[in-house]
Chain A
Amino acid sequence: MVDMEIKREDILHLADLSDLSLTDEEVESLGKDLQDIIKYISQLDELDTKNVEPTYQVFEMENVWRNDEVVEQEADREALLALSEKSRDNQIEVPKVL
């Protein structure tokens, strides 16, 4: 993976996955940066991880059931709707979806 080449189409695909509309200059500069970063992180190849289980979190987890009750939230609907750039009639306004 160390010698993997990141092509322009790869950057455009990642930008699409990331919901970013990159400019042409950004495609170029991010392409170079990502190539460098991927080269660095690829050194993990050297590490022997045979028979090693993955770790995804370091919290000593235990499930906790909550009571089945309605809890008053800190912020009400009005305060939350007021955070949006555009809202009316208790709804958030966006441009056309389809």
Chain B
Amino acid sequence: MKTANKTVTAERLVRDALEKAEHFRDYNIFTYINKTGAIQKAREIDAKIARGEKVGRLAGVPYALKDNFLSPEGETTASAHILERFTSPVTATVVAKLEAEGAIMIGRTNLDAFAHGSSTENSYYGPTLNAFDQERVAGGSSGGSAVAVALDIVEFATGTDTGGSIRQPASFNGVYGLKPTYGCNSRYGVVAMASSTDCIGFFTKSPDDMDLLMSIASGRDPKDMTTLPDYYNNTKSGARLGDSRLAPARPSLRGSGAQSAPVVANVHETPTRRIGVIKDFDNKSVDSEIRNALKRKCETLKKKGYEIVELEMPALKYALAAYYIIVPAEVASNLSRYDGVRYGFRSDKSKDLDSLYENTRNEGFMPENKRRIMIGNFVLSSGFYDAYFLKAAKARTLILQEYEKAFEQVDYILTPVSPSPAFKLGEKANDPVAMYLEDIMSVSLNLAGVPGLAVPAGKTKAGLPIGLQLVGPRRSDKQLIEFAKELD
């Protein structure tokens, strides 16, 4: 990652990024451009460099911020009408950490409103276009962030991943995208979608950049009680899963006792390095060019001495159904706070408090937000709770157990990110279930809390990027990033 120094100033880096953002305006990547603030911050960093003072590891590095991260710079809208004109008085922990290292936010990026979607078409501000084909979707929900990195406007961008919202747009645009282990990075100051699966991650152009960002972002945050102690920076470089020195203890996926010891990964001893492929995922629903890309990577790995192991994970077939019960339930709860009273948009049509809530919410939410809220209230409502929500929570246990079992047999799992490359704008916009099926390979990781890294894996004949997903056990994020280099 290019940082500022005495010859290349932060102001130059920032101005270049702002010019590129302007040049690619047609793509509808940004909901806000932070021109004045970014240049001012760049000058402060340049002054420090001129005085010979120490600067951070991201000094002068321009980055793009997904518009569901709170900070006082610009409005945090989550690309939703209901948060229009909302300027946050607080700063998300991850933003504060990046800025403390000298990173400079040049703009806020477009997303599906409240991160509900897989194409960025559900944005109040219109869709973001794919970096490789303007007639196709960027993927989502972090579409703007993925395209900002793919078009080389910025060095990196932030994202959130509740069911694939980092990995799928990364794969649609040919960049790296990491969904870390649940609890690795603080969620404080990020607009909540589904609290038991929301993860904070990044888009980068290389595994090394991802490693640098994770070493900055990870660790316990007193403002987010679901952050883990910093295991990321306690992972020895060059170590791999299977090294016993990596594993002072092995917590189970749902075990207790995360508090004191910085346990690095729940790893196991294997004589040779084994990579799993999931039998049911390599099936006819996956585009043949993506299946071939997966096969090619497996061949590469075999030549490097890895053993490829076929895994049976039958419960994964039900992950998407479980996900679209559990997540809407949490969405319905998290989005109940948007009532037009304390912040954000307020409908002016109301005569009393009840109609103020109802009108504000109906005018302020996008159709997909309403679908998820209503499905959430359906699966939680009396008479349906056992059949849907409880059933899904039990399915989640089976999915967790399948991952636990899988990682007793293999070090990592390699799968497609999504069944197809970037689809055409509008192609799935009127069919919610077809859109949900986009997430069929990504959601199980969120339900299990395990990390996944989307890596570029060539292009289709039509020139669209293909992405593959590397999956590891909980807390194996650093090893996953290092292993990604083996795939080249």
Please report A residues at the B interface, Cβ cutoff 8 Å: 1, 11, 14-15, 17-23, 26, 29-30, 33-34, 36-38, 40-47, 49, 52-62, 64, 74-75, 79-80, 83-86, 92, 94-97
Which of A14, A52, A58 is in CB contact (< 8 Å) with B196?
Answer: A58
Within 389-411 of B, Cβ neighbours of A (below 8 Å) are at: 390-398, 400
- Docked pose: A74 CA to B87 CA in angstroms: 14
The stretch from B54-62, B158-166, B254-262, B458-466 touching chain A is: B254-262
- CB atoms of B374 and A47 under 8 A apart: no
B341 at the interface (CB under 8 A from A): yes
B458 to chain A, nearest CB (A): 32
B140 at the interface (CB under 8 A from A): no
What bracket does the count of chain B residues touching chain A fall in? 35 or more
- CB atoms of A60 and B370 under 8 A apart: no
- CB atoms of A54 and B397 under 8 A apart: yes
Which of B344, B358, B392 is in CB contact (< 8 Å) with A21?
Answer: B358
The stretch from B114-122, B280-288, B320-328, B419-427 touching chain A is: B320-328
Which of A41, A59, A92, A95 is in CB contact (< 8 Å) with B351?
Answer: A95
B324 to chain A, nearest CB (A): 5
B176 at the interface (CB under 8 A from A): no
- CB atoms of A18 and B373 under 8 A apart: yes
- CB atoms of B353 and A15 under 8 A apart: no
- CB atoms of B253 and A43 under 8 A apart: no
Q: A1-B387, A49-B394 are in contact. Are A37 and B324 (CB under 8 A)?
A: yes
Which B-chain residue is minimally distant from A97 (CB atoms)?
B353
Please report B residues at the A interface, Cβ cutoff 8 Å: 86-87, 89-91, 182-183, 196, 225-226, 228, 251, 253-259, 315, 318, 320-322, 324-325, 332, 336, 339-346, 350-353, 355-359, 361-362, 365, 367, 370-371, 373-375, 377-379, 381, 387-388, 390-398, 400, 431-433, 436, 447-449
Which B-chain residue is minimally distant from A71 (CB atoms)?
B222
For A37, the chain B residues whose CB sits under 8 A away are 324, 371, 375, 432-433, 436
- CB atoms of A95 and B352 under 8 A apart: yes
B467 to chain A, nearest CB (A): 24
Q: How many A-B residue pairs have CB under 8 A?
A: 185
- CB atoms of B318 and A43 under 8 A apart: yes
- Docked pose: A84 CA to B341 CA in angstroms: 6
Which B-chain residue is minimally distant from A82 (CB atoms)?
B89
For B183, the chain A residues whose CB sits under 8 A away are 59-60
Which of B256, B341, B398, B447 is in CB contact (< 8 Å) with A61?
Answer: B256
Tell me if A's interface is mostly helix, strand, loop or mixed: loop
For B379, the chain A residues whose CB sits under 8 A away are 41
Q: A1-B387, A37-B324 are in contact. Are A18 and B377 (CB under 8 A)?
A: yes
- Docked pose: A52 CA to B253 CA in angstroms: 16
Q: A20-B373, A62-B256 are in contact. Are A40 and B324 (CB under 8 A)?
A: yes
- Docked pose: A34 CA to B368 CA in angstroms: 11
For B346, the chain A residues whose CB sits under 8 A away are 85-86
- Docked pose: A9 CA to B305 CA in angstroms: 61
A69 to chain B, nearest CB (A): 12
- CB atoms of A55 and B397 under 8 A apart: yes
For A80, the chain B residues whose CB sits under 8 A away are 89, 342
- CB atoms of B321 and A44 under 8 A apart: yes
- Docked pose: A59 CA to B226 CA in angstroms: 7
- CB atoms of A95 and B258 under 8 A apart: no
A-B contact pairs, 6 of them (CB 8 A): A17-B377, A18-B361, A21-B355, A49-B391, A55-B397, A59-B258
- CB atoms of A54 and B436 under 8 A apart: no
Q: A15-B374, A40-B324, A61-B256 are in contact. Are A75 and B89 (CB under 8 A)?
A: yes
Q: A20-B358, A55-B254 are in contact. Are A34 and B391 (CB under 8 A)?
A: no
B95 to chain A, nearest CB (A): 12
- CB atoms of B352 and A96 under 8 A apart: yes
- CB atoms of A58 and B254 under 8 A apart: yes
Which B-chain residue is minimally distant from A62 (CB atoms)?
B259
Q: A49-B394, A60-B228 are in contact. Are A20 and B362 (CB under 8 A)?
A: yes
- CB atoms of B324 and A41 under 8 A apart: yes
B434 to chain A, nearest CB (A): 9
Interface centre among A21, A41, A61, A79 (most CB of B within 10 A): A41
- CB atoms of B86 and A83 under 8 A apart: yes
Which A-chain residue is minimally distant from B387 (CB atoms)?
A1
- CB atoms of B259 and A49 under 8 A apart: no
For B225, the chain A residues whose CB sits under 8 A away are 64
For B393, the chain A residues whose CB sits under 8 A away are 54-56
- CB atoms of A62 and B258 under 8 A apart: yes
Which of B255, B318, B336 is in CB contact (< 8 Å) with A19?
Answer: B336
A34 to chain B, nearest CB (A): 6
For B324, the chain A residues whose CB sits under 8 A away are 37, 40-41
A55 to chain B, nearest CB (A): 4
- Docked pose: A43 CA to B91 CA in angstroms: 42
- CB atoms of B342 and A84 under 8 A apart: yes
